[in-house]
Amino acid sequence: MSPNKFFKHEGPWSDANDPLMCSDTGDWRTKRPVVDKDTCIFCGFCAIYCPIQVMEMVENSHFTPDLAFCKGCGICAKECPKNAISMIAEGDF
């Protein structure tokens, strides 16, 4: 058999028992969602609609994005029924 270097299997198989690939998509972001904890009513709409599913629950009180991967699309801010999320330009941080 030929040696395995790029592949573990004889054919074109990828193997997710090995660590997954992951890009730093947080780097793409031009605007950052900032959650106002006090205005947040913990309804979870931001979390369900987030395409990347990076809104994390904090102490059953509010949601906060994982900025390592948030691409800054702004859906969370747009869908928040209480306007508790603001999109702030990354340059301002």
Partner 1 sequence: MNIKAEAKAKAGSQIKVITGNAAAAIGAKLVRPDVVAAYPITPQTEIIEQISKFHANGEMDCELITVEGENSAMNAVMAASLAGGRVFTATSSWGLVFMYDAVLATAGARAPVVMVNVNRETPGIIAVSCGQQDMISTRDAGWIFLIAEDCQEVLDLVLQAYRLAEDYDIQVPVMVHYDGFYLSYLSEGVDVPFQEDVDRFLSVLNDQPERTKLVPGGKLGCGTHGILGGYLELRHKHVSAMERSKAKFEQIDKEFQEIFGRSYGGQIEEYRMDDADVVLVGSGSMCGTIKTVIDEKRDAGVKVGLLKIRMYRPFPGEAMVEALKGKKAIGVVDRSLCFGFKGGPIYTELKAFETQLDGSKMVSFIDGIANTDITTANIGQMIDATCDLAEGKDVREVTWVSYPEAQEEGGL
Partner 2 sequence: MTGKKKGKLTKVLDYLKHEDPFSKGVAFCPGCGLELLLRFIPQVLGNDIVITGTPSCSAPVLLGQNNQSWHTLSYFGTLMTGAAANATGLARYYRKAGIKNTVVCFNGDGTAADIGFGNLSGAAERNEPFIYICYDNEGYMNTGVQKSATTPYGASTTTTPFGTASKGKNLRRMNLALKMAMHKIPYAATATLSDLGDLAKKLLKAKEAKERGFAFLHVFAPCTTGWGYAPENTIEVCRRAVKTNYFPLWEAINGKIRMTKTVKKPKPVSTYTELMKKFAHLNEADLQILQDDVDYEYCMLGGLSTLEAECHIPESVED
* Contact residues: partner 1, CB under 8 A: 1-2, 4-7, 9-17
Q: Which of 1, 2, 11, 20 binds partner 2 (CB under 8 A)?
A: 20
d(CA 92, CA 62): 23
d(CA 49, CA 15): 29
- 3-class SS of residue 69: coil
Residues that bind partner 2 (CB under 8 A): 6-9, 13-16, 18-26, 28-29, 38-39, 41-45, 47-54, 61, 66, 68-69, 71-75, 77-79, 81-82, 87
